[in-house]
Homo-oligomer: A and B are copies of this chain.
């Protein structure tokens, strides 16, 4: 796996949708902007809170009942950073460039049913959730179900490894990629904060109290790439709806019963109505089981309503399937002619086991002809191994700090770090069960730590932080015709980092944007 920096080969601007970045030869890094005047900080903080409230950058407040089920009540601003996070322009462009290649890869791999079944055969034995997904996949194979219209709304997440200065993929989300709605708002918010700051600073300047303004004056809002994730996701959903070609049908958002992140979703459904006059409904898996039926022509009907596109914003975690009811709903949808975003195949391609299998030598080549594309993808792959590779397992027991153990289970919080890696590996070796198939090993990535201002519950806190860059990708094809294959905006997320854990992120993550350096 090459970890050579891509900056040299990408020094000229690429024709990507990464926003309009002017070529500025010397942009100062942002790491120093925290020597900021306290009065100025207060003003910027207040303005940012106002901005988020007036622009719908809100979530349901956990402490308030109904805030996850009824819109308009119990709202609080979404957590965000006050200022954008530095990111090298070359790595940013590298990440953007990967999106259409990953889109294509997902589509091709999804068609290789044998690869999916074989790769996941051991995982299936020890992971109930994967097993159920594979069962649905098998049933579709049995009835020879074809998905002619395929819609992918993906997000590939990366970190920048500090030591090697390389962009490394954390995971590829093929289901329920969130924050396409909010991420553009945060970029706008940060542009606004920077522009407003100049007005505040101008006033402070007049008042001769600008002695401690720090580096904030050096910020250039043009270096925050425009983020069109929302409109591009909506475009993909709208065009998929067109391809389905039934004016009576609607888009169905499959949602959790309690969803405090509903406004990120509402931004999409609102834009879908405004721009494409496409209506959407929101249903839980349980509701779909109760109200759904398959019409003789294959149409999915829910509560008497024909469904053109099934857009999953739930169903990615075992927690979303508390009973057989939810699995029946999933199967029903899969059997229908509705466009599934994602189909069961697309969902499986996004599993960690497949991510690890694709990183093996000569696997990518089976799906992508273009050698440059293959090289580009491989460059972003971190070290990925299954636990049956004994030399790696041995090394991980010796140097657990260099590895992460990732269970197949979705959700992030289940990863194993540090000495727990050694202990878990030893336990699995003793047990000699198939339980090891529930995990993969991944090279530990150490991103750069930096200080930033976190805005949460109306308060501003300065903390050590690490960032993760997600690049959205949209893909739509109908039979042989690729209708959309694009990089579609980005999501920057910044997490409070406790140095005790050597850079491991705590649970809390704030929405951020990219500041190109």
Contacts and interface: CB of A to CB of B under 8 A. Distances in A.
A450 B199 CA distance: 49
Given A53-B58, A75-B58, A70 B458 contact: yes
A207 B304 contact: yes
A279 B305 CA distance: 51
Contacts of A305: 203, 207
A121 interface: no
A479 interface: no
B279 A199 contact: yes
B75 A50 contact: no
A75 B58 CA distance: 9
Nearest to A73: B458
Contacts of A270: 50-51, 54
A52 B72 contact: yes
A458 B72 contact: yes
A273 B196 contact: yes
B248 A203 contact: yes
A76 B73 contact: yes
Residue among A54, A72, A76, A277 with max Cβ neighbours from chain B (10 Å): A72
A19 B72 CA distance: 29
Given A54-B266, A54-B267, A73 B207 contact: no
Contact of A72 (B49, B74, B207, B248): B49
A428 interface: no
A23 to B, nearest CB: 27
A305 B209 CA distance: 11
Contacts of A458: 66, 70-73
Interface of A: 46, 49-56, 58, 61, 64, 66, 70-77, 196, 199-200, 203, 206-207, 209, 247-248, 250, 263, 266-267, 269-270, 273, 277, 279, 304-305, 455, 457-458
22 contacts: A49-B70, A50-B266, A50-B269, A50-B270, A52-B72, A53-B71, A53-B72, A54-B263, A54-B267, A55-B56, A61-B73, A72-B77, A72-B455, A73-B77, A73-B458, A196-B273, A200-B279, A203-B250, A203-B279, A203-B305, A206-B247, A207-B248
Given A73-B77, A199-B273, A209-B304, 12 more contacts: A49-B72, A50-B263, A53-B71, A53-B75, A53-B263, A53-B266, A54-B266, A55-B56, A56-B56, A70-B458, A74-B76, A207-B305
